[in-house]
Homo-oligomer: A and B are copies of this chain.
Amino acid sequence: MKTSTLIPHALKIGVLLLVSAFAVSAEETPAKINPDKPVYGDYQNWRLLSISHRLDKQTLRAILGNDTAIDAARKGNTKPWPDGTIITKVVWKEKNHANWPQAIVPDTLEKAEAMVKDQKKYEKTGGWGFAKWEGNNLTIYDEAKSKECFACHLPMQSNDYVYNAPVLQ
Chain A interface, >50% SS class: strand
Identity of the chain B residue whose Cβ is nearest the Cβ of A112 in the assembled complex? B168
Residues on the B chain within 8 Å of A169, using CB: 44
Identity of the chain B residue whose Cβ is nearest the Cβ of A74 in the assembled complex? B44
A105 to B62, CA, bound (A): 11
Residues on the B chain within 8 Å of A165, using CB: 105-106
Copies in the complex: 2
Cβ of A17 within 8 Å of any chain B Cβ, yes or no, is no
Cβ of A53 within 8 Å of any chain B Cβ, yes or no, is yes
Cβ of A167 within 8 Å of any chain B Cβ, yes or no, is yes
Residues 82-138 (chain A) with a chain B CB within 8 angstroms: 90, 92, 94, 97, 99-100, 102-106, 109
Cβ of A45 within 8 Å of any chain B Cβ, yes or no, is yes
Identity of the chain B residue whose Cβ is nearest the Cβ of A47 in the assembled complex? B45
Q: Is the pair B55, A106 in contact by a Cβ cutoff of 8 Å?
A: no
Identity of the chain B residue whose Cβ is nearest the Cβ of A156 in the assembled complex? B99
A116 to B160, CA, bound (A): 39
User: Can you list 18 pairs linking A and B with CB atoms under 8 Å apart?
Assistant: A44-B47, A44-B169, A46-B47, A47-B47, A48-B64, A50-B106, A52-B60, A52-B103, A53-B104, A54-B103, A55-B102, A55-B104, A90-B167, A100-B155, A100-B163, A103-B163, A105-B164, A106-B167
